Structure 1
């Protein structure tokens, strides 16, 4: 059996990336948080996200319970799986999973940083910290909703280059997630205006839109008052730099796109 492993810290987007990675490498099965997922469907196991405490969740994810490990080993044999992808928070964790399921040595290790950009990872971490949302790479209909005390929502479908559905995700909020820190949209916009408040060229910032799902995105319109001959591109670049730096400093988020429109321009007479 060919055993692949995708590893990285919790909340960095491993489950969201697993379906596309498996399709790329023609991997038919995925092990994620205690589940065996075969061709996009849950076929065995119990998700660690159903557990009530973090300790129980970790034990479930590494197949600490013998009956759980036996159930998944049996299904792997019955489905005659030849290529499988293991998900874990570290190389040590995926090695423990491989041992518990008696899969043999891992042939290829893939770090989350190898397949996702820094801005994507930080956006995923921000969503995990502020909303406590976890992704399970199985369809909505297969999730036992009674296990969750909060939100269960449909995630998204993943398509191949030929527009074929290769998998579907579901978003959940487990009981073991703990508290949340919510940053309102007003604060997200305020960070932008405050970042440029000491720029004499900027008289107003309007139509500010912030989207932090997937690739973090900001768009806004600025009103400028500059002397004749001022390079507008340089002013826009300074605004861009200040906004980007403010989000990194205060939220540890790298904005992937910052679209700036100059909506009003005043050039006073000399």
Structure 2
């Protein structure tokens, strides 16, 4: 079997070209990402909040990782959206765990001091432990976080079939007795994959926003203004169905059910 691949220089040229094209002419679902960013700034970055310092650091890290996932989508190297989105989700889960008990911040900070500290940190800081805290607050969101975390692993946070084979396909005969296949590393401007991965960013962002709000005692987004969050989710659901071209019957993250159009 003969393998060939583009060079680093060619990759950088390709991703820069796609990103520049999106800067000039935004992809179909970019407005959803802009609305998500406005939501974060309105709810978390425009006024003082009663949030523990380490929880705040983890929340900010979740937000910046989310921006990184958007950047990967806009570059066309869409498979990298998933490991970065997973990191954003996990950081928000850690923020919730730190907010639950003051001593948890020390467990996180001391992670690399000894083998015992490392084991204690690994045991405490898991997505599943954050889900346990979320369940009494809103069971649906607890399952949504679990679904997003599992889907991110399936679609690219780990090198699993769904994350690789969806970019793999035949190119036809190569000579008399060989057949060619290609693995696409960079998707094109405003392509279906770019838009689907922007949906991934928004769905992850909604979970991150809920987790951050849950890390702040009495945050109005989880109380008197919960409808604002529900309305944001409903708007996203409508756009996902528009991208899919049909209504969706789903549990968990919608992006797992959105299918590319038939040729």
Q: TM-score range by the shorter chain?
A: under 0.3
Structure with greater helix share of residues: 2
- Of structures 1 and 2, the one scoring higher in RCO (CA 8 A, sep 6+) is 2
TM-score normalised to structure 2 length: 0.26
Structure with higher Rg: it is: 1
Structure with greater strand share of residues: 1
